[in-house]
Structure 1
């Protein structure tokens, strides 16, 4: 298990900070939910952790080592909101997963590992022969998770991975995230604009607004006694059941 740590991280676009001095730790073997409205900087922070955006200030550390300076296989894997854009539409999903496997393996060992990864995300191994367009959105998101796990990462960042899915499919994917975290001991940063989704999977919750971290604490504490007005506004926006 490994801990991911953002130390005073700043990311600038055109001289303006999209992420402004954010410090946040994702403890080893836990899920931290990062929530905020569109434009709050949460996805930019995630992209900085995997080298997609240059860090203008601060550091992103994995067990004390700066992950932005890692060469070769990255120990932090990012799963995107739209899995179709991250999968080659001309490549069978099995080949996409196999491409992410570390090292050289005999074909039989590689195929066996791909099948096990598909089973891990509750997909029939026969899916490996299909192209992404033949799958549903929920199936493609499971393939994207399998591909991330194929790289044997220390940390997985899930960026809005349920926001484009139907509500019924969202539930099954969230249950899968909880299962993977528990069974594999994963360290997960789970990003969403939806506080109802974040609270279902998270041990801790962090809230961003305007590129800054405005609140962070145990999930129960943030949900029952929010300290910041922005967190309270996000809670007020969560739909509530009404009695007839």
Structure 2
């Protein structure tokens, strides 16, 4: 288990500042929710962590050291929003997961590890030869999670991983995230615009607006007694008077 820390991080594109002096920590073995509207900068911060967006100022640290963004072994793995574009349609799901495994495994070892990872995300290992086109969105997102775990990451970054899924499928994927975090002790930055989702999976939440963290703290405290007007606005937009959790049935 490792700590991911954003230390006064700024991301700018020319004269436009997408992330403005953000400091945020993901403690070892914890899920931290990052919530905000579209365009708030939360996905840009995530992309900066994995080297997909330029860091203009500050630093991103893993266990106190700068996060390496080059090389085959990357300690941060990201699961993206769209399960339909995150997997290569020309590869089987087994090949996609195997591609992310560390080097040095024999063919049999790789096959066994792919089977283990598919079982971990509740997919039949016998479907390893299937291509993504034959899977549902929820199944593809499970493959994406398996692929992220294949690299044995120190921290997983999940960027809006349920927003492109049908409501009927979202709960099962969220239950899987909770299960994986509990069983593997994952450190995870979980990004969403949905406060109900964040309440369900995260022990700590940070609220982002216009590239700035406006409020953060334990999830129960922030969502039951918000101190910032923007947090109150987000809560007011949640349908119903209470935030309802997804079903806790086994995925």
**TM-score, normalised with respect to structure 1:** 0.97
Per the alignment, in what secondary structure is the counterpart of residue 235 of structure 2? helix
Q: How far off is 1:178 after superposition?
A: 0.4
Q: How far off is 1:69 after superposition?
A: 5.3
In the alignment, which residue of structure 1 is the partner of 2:32? 32
Pairwise mapping of residues 38-117 of structure 1 onto structure 2 (< 5 A)? 38-68=38-68, 71-117=71-117
In the alignment, which residue of structure 2 is the partner of 1:21? 21
CA distance in 2, matches of 1:69, 1:143: 23
**TM-score, normalised with respect to structure 2:** 0.94
CA distance in 2, matches of 1:146, 1:64: 27
In the alignment, which residue of structure 2 is the partner of 1:124? 124
Question: Which of 6-15 and 66-75 deviates more?
Answer: 66-75
Cα deviations by residue, 1:82-130 (Å, 9 ceiling, x for unpaired): 1221211000010000000012211111000000000000000012111
In the alignment, which residue of structure 2 is the partner of 1:149? 149
Q: How far off is 1:241 after superposition?
A: 5.9
CA distance in 1, matches of 2:67, 2:148: 17
Cα deviations by residue, 1:161-195 (Å, 9 ceiling, x for unpaired): 00011112100000000000000000010000111
Extract unaligned runs of 5+ from structure 2.
243-251
Per the alignment, in what secondary structure is the counterpart of residue 119 of structure 1? helix
Question: Which of 83-92 and 156-165 deviates more?
Answer: 83-92
In the alignment, which residue of structure 2 is the partner of 1:233? 233
Cα deviations by residue, 1:64-97 (Å, 9 ceiling, x for unpaired): 1110455431100010001221211000010000
In the alignment, which residue of structure 1 is the partner of 2:197? 197
Deviating beyond 6 angstroms after TM superposition, the runs of 4 or more aligned structure 1 residues are: none
Q: Do the aligned partners of 2:7 and 2:59 also contact (CA within 8 Å) in 1?
A: yes
Q: How far off is 1:7 after superposition?
A: 0.3
Q: Do the aligned partners of 2:68 and 2:75 also contact (CA within 8 Å) in 1?
A: no
Counterparts in 2 of 1:23 and 1:241: CA distance versus 1, 3 Å: closer
CA distance in 2, matches of 1:241, 1:82: 30
Q: Do the aligned partners of 1:49 and 1:68 also contact (CA within 8 Å) in 2?
A: no
In the alignment, which residue of structure 2 is the partner of 1:170? 170
Q: Do the aligned partners of 2:50 and 2:69 also contact (CA within 8 Å) in 1?
A: no
Extract unaligned runs of 5+ from structure 1.
none
CA distance in 2, matches of 1:71, 1:165: 32
RMSD over aligned Cα atoms: 1.1
In the alignment, which residue of structure 1 is the partner of 2:247? none
